[in-house]
Amino acid sequence: MAEEAKAKAPKLADPIAATIDPASQEMIRRAQELNIDTVFDRAEQMKPCAIGVQGICCKNCSMGPCRLPLPKGGIVGEDTRKGLCGATANTIAARNFIRMIAGGASAHSDHGRSVAEVFMTAARKETDAYRIKDTNKLLAVAEALQVDTTVEVDGETKDRDIDEIALEVAKKAMNEWGKPEGELLYLKRAPQALYDKWTKAGVKPRNIDREIVEIMHRTHMGVDQDYKNLIKQGSRAAIADGWGGSMLATDLQDILFGTPYPLQSEANLGVMKEDHVNLIIHGHEPVLSEIIVAVAQRPEIIEYAKSKGAKGIQLSGICCTANEILQRHGVPSAATFLQQELAIITGACDAMVVDIQCIMQNLANVAKCFHTKLITTHPIAKMEQDNVLHIEFDEHHAVEDAEKIVKIAIDNFQNRRTEVMIPRQKATQIAGFGVESIQYHLGGTFRGTYYTLNDNIINGRIRGIAGVVGCNNARTRHNEAHITVVKELIKNDVIVLTTGCNAIACAMAGLLTPESAGVYCGPGLKEVCETVGIPPVLHLGSCVDNSRILLAATEVVKAGGLGKDISDLPAAGSAPEWMSEKAISIGHYFVCSGFYTVFGVTLPTSGAPVFHDYISKELEKQFGGMWDIEPDPIKHAQLMIAHIDRKRKELGIDKARDRVLMDMADRQKLEA
Ligand code: SF4
Ligand code: MSK
């Protein structure tokens, strides 16, 4: 009988096989003891659909879903697979792929739009909660948005009033989502060679919303049935994300909340404190979390927490809201995407406040088993479970909303009802790098460009640059591919720029400290990091901050000596454990910006070999970048290194050489 019951019990995750992180292993065990299922268990109990994984299931009309599995033994001769309407596997895979781009681009861009709306409120001085914090960044953004920063008065050029500039920047920025004609203004920030490629390929976005809407139209039943034409629109929407919605989100956030500069903090579940009120902020948009951080530091609020028996308030973050409040305020990161349920299972989470994206609905079920208050705050992101509170955030009463949320957490401190079990693991991290701070650390004191970075790439101390980003995926061992890829890269002298959950994973593994260079890096990168005092893995922020990688790469091109376009650089992109549609949009704008881009796990194109081949090889002819897929993390990193070496050879810098300080004439010779 006992055996029968055991056989019927749902299969549970093996904590060691599920994650490389000891803190997460401990919490998975704890959840299983308490009979609470987590994403790790559910991944054991539900296998993915093999046809969906390959991208060849169409459900775009009710004659389907039409599934087009690959014949056993692969395609021999003509590929005759088709859906009821005749759609081929290539059409179906391309439609599905660009719908993922639309999903991802809309998420980033709608985030950007919300920030632009708050920015407008601040520019109009309709709120005291937000104001312009970084005027230098405002002036730089004004230039990129073609807003005058000076005025002519009586034949004299004078600085224009900052409030006036801010208002015009707000209007110009908002216009980018829906202007009736022209092209996105930020496209001109790209290297000229890349801009010319976009022109030639006919993929310059007209406005952000239009490109996303057009994907939904083109992929409707019976519209675009040419995979090349479909991916062309995917390219246009992805560029609208990277060089539009995401870039505007990053810039406007920097102006409102401050441009990040390196600071020290910690990461992993061990940042939570048993004797403090633990308030965890999860999601992506920092407009509310910025105010929560300010409110939670007020002396009277801390006193209030003490009056309830707590020693203070411990704020921490999950996913990209974590990255946002980390890079500007040093708030520690509690968890990556896959650890979100585990943070509640500690029994010490007094409140978790969520905004948008990457929030698992099962948080509500887990919260029910504890005293945790789960609070949704965004009008577009509610949950059906009745234990979830909804406090709708509005920038006009942001401080009141934040106070209400912080007080709910404090009042809940005394209601803890399960034994608290916080894992001890946490690691030190240095975060908050960006285009400006990389220039400061690696740009040379006098030149104000990326001169020193380029010089170190040319002389071979730094072999190349990698952008390693993206999510966790419960179909792979949590954090294993992230950390293996990054360690293999830095061991081979490739400096890594990281964002999103990869950044949190790297922080948890201790890779975001200058000291890690001595342990994990090849001799060249180690020397550079030790000389300059930076980690070999630079934390550039959240998912929308992948736009910082685009601009950093552009700065490298501008500094000279490494070609004329991003695609000439010894550089590559990677998302070892991706899961979200946003990752596909990011991957595609990386490709369209000239990066060789490798994804782990799987790509939803494998069931349509011709389409897969097109995005792997043909796109390289258009943009210099291409997609690749490699689940094995060592091979994944080696593919990136091989690409970097190929680019070094093409640039004529493949021979190891001693450090030579090159002047502009030497650089021009190299470019020729
Ligand atoms: Fe099937 Fe065509 Fe309808 Fe897709 S659009 S579900 S392939 S009939
Ligand atoms: S949070 S999109 S799981 S990186 Fe930006 Fe992490 Fe991926 Fe969400």
Task: Please count the structural domains in the chain.
Answer: 3
Residue ID of nearest Cα to ligand 1 atom 6:
64
Pocket of ligand 1 (CB under 6 A): 58-61, 63-66, 83-85, 87, 92, 221
Work out the percent of the chain whose per-residue pLDDT is above 70: 96
Both 132 and 224 in a single domain? yes
Per-residue pLDDT band for 656 (boundaries 50, 70, 90) equals low
Res 671: pLDDT: 45
Mean pLDDT rounded to a whole number for the chain: 94
Indicate whether 493 and 575 sit together in one domain.
Answer: yes
534 in helix, strand or coil?
coil
Q: What are phi and psi of 265, to 5 degrees?
A: -155, -155
Q: What is the pLDDT of residue 668?
A: 53
Over 90: is that where the pLDDT of 146 sits? yes
Does residue 174 share a domain with residue 113? yes
Do 479 and 613 lie in one domain? The reply is yes
Of 387, 415, 443, which one is at a domain's C-terminal end? Answer: 415
Say if 63 falls within a structural domain.
Answer: no
Q: Residue 581: nearest ligand to its CA?
A: 2
In a domain? residue 423 = no
Average pLDDT over residues 548-559: 96
Ligand 2: residue of 282, 319, 356, 506 to mutate (most ligand atoms within 8 A of CB) is 319
In order of 315, 524, 535, the CA distances from 659 in angstroms are 45, 10, 21
Domain boundary among 380, 415, 450: 415
Residues 339 and 484 in one domain: no
Cα-Cα end-to-end distance for the chain: 79
Instruction: Give the separation between CA 130 and CA 258, rounded to whole angstroms.
Output: 11
pLDDT band at residue 434 using 50, 70 and 90 as cut-offs: confident
Does a structural domain hold residue 184? yes
Residue bearing the CA closest to ligand 2, atom 3: 471
Confirm if 50 and 77 have CB atoms less than 8 A apart.
no
**Two structure tokens written together for 668:** 């021009």
- Is pLDDT above 60 for 221? yes
Phi, psi of 296 (to 5 degrees): -65, -15
Measure the CA–CA gap between 147 and 63, rounded to whole angstroms: 51
**Banded pLDDT at 487 (limits 50, 70, 90):** very high
Same domain, 329 and 240: no
Given the CA of residue 66, which atom of ligand 1 is nearest to it? 1
- Confidence at residue 661, expressed as pLDDT on a 0 to 100 scale: 45
Task: Assess if residue 95 is contained within a domain.
Answer: yes
Question: Residue 111 CA: which ligand is closest?
Answer: 2
Indicate whether 36 belongs to any domain.
no
Over residues 92-101, mean pLDDT: 98
Distance of alpha carbon 99 from alpha carbon 106, whole angstroms: 10
How confident is the model over 526-542, as a mean pLDDT?
95
Atom 7, ligand 1: residue with shortest CA distance: 83
**Hunting for tokens 């792979």 — which residue is that?**
476
Rounded to whole angstroms, the Cα distance separating 91 from 337 reads: 32
pLDDT higher than threshold 50 for residue 309: yes
Q: Considering only CA atoms, which residue is closest to atom 8 of ligand 2?
A: 358
The residue-averaged pLDDT of 475-483 equals 98
Residues 485 and 620 in one domain: yes
Query: Do residues 376 and 447 both lie within one domain?
Result: no
Give the residue-averaged pLDDT of 105-128: 96
**Per-residue confidence (pLDDT) for residue 374, from 0 to 100:** 98
Task: Using the predicted structure, report yes or no on whether residue 280 has a pLDDT greater than 80.
Answer: yes
Ligand nearest the Cα of residue 63 is 1
The pLDDT, as a whole number, for residue 436 is: 86
Q: Are 351 and 343 in contact (CB under 8 A)?
A: no
User: Are the C-beta atoms of residues 639 and 485 closer than 8 Å to each other?
Assistant: no
The arithmetic mean of pLDDT across residues 196-202, rounded, is 98
**C-beta of 337 in contact with ligand 2 (< 6 A):** yes
What is the 96 CA–ligand 1 centroid distance (Å)?
12
| Shared domain check, 163 and 311 | no
According to DSSP, the residues that pair with 465 across neighbouring strands are 495, 571
Helix residue ranges per DSSP H, 77-182:
89-123, 135-144, 162-175
Question: Looking at residues 169-173, what average pLDDT do you find?
Answer: 98
Within this chain, do residues 299 and 407 fall inside the same structural domain, yes or no?
A: yes
Residue 149 C-alpha to ligand 2 middle, in angstroms? 36
Domain match, 253 and 283 both = no
**What is the position in ligand 2's atom list of the atom closest to the CA of 358?**
8
Output the pLDDT for position 319. 98
Mean pLDDT for the stretch of residues 437-443: 78
Q: Average pLDDT, stretch 249-256?
A: 98
Per-residue model confidence (pLDDT) at position 285 = 93
Model pLDDT for residues 619-650, shown as the tens digit of each residue:
999 999 999 999 999 999 999 999 999 999 99
Ligand nearest the Cα atom of residue 88: 1
Helix, strand, coil proportions of the chain in percent (round to 5)?
A: 50, 10, 35
Mean pLDDT of 186-209: 98
Tell whether 663 is covered by a domain.
Answer: no
Is any ligand 2 atom within 6 A of the Cβ of residue 470? yes
What is the pairing mode between strands 351-354 and 66-67? unpaired
Q: Does a structural domain hold residue 76?
A: no
Domain boundary among 234, 257, 280: 257
53 within a domain of the structure (yes/no) = no
Say if residue 452 is in the same domain as residue 513. Answer: yes
3 versus 177: the higher-pLDDT residue is 177
Domain of residue 517, residue span: 430-651
Q: Is the minimum distance from the CB of 580 to ligand 2 under 6 angstroms? A: yes
Whole-structure pTM value:
0.95
Q: Domain of 387: which CATH number? A: 3.40.50.2030
Beta carbons of 106 and 98 less than 8 angstroms apart? no
Contact (Cβ atoms closer than 8 angstroms) between residue 299 and residue 312 = no
388 C-beta closer than 6 A to ligand 2: no
Question: What does the pLDDT look like over 557-574, one tens digit per residue?
Answer: 999 999 999 999 999 999
CATH of the domain at 203: 1.20.1270.30
Which atom number of ligand 2 is nearest to the Cα of residue 284?
5
Determine the pLDDT at residue 670: 47
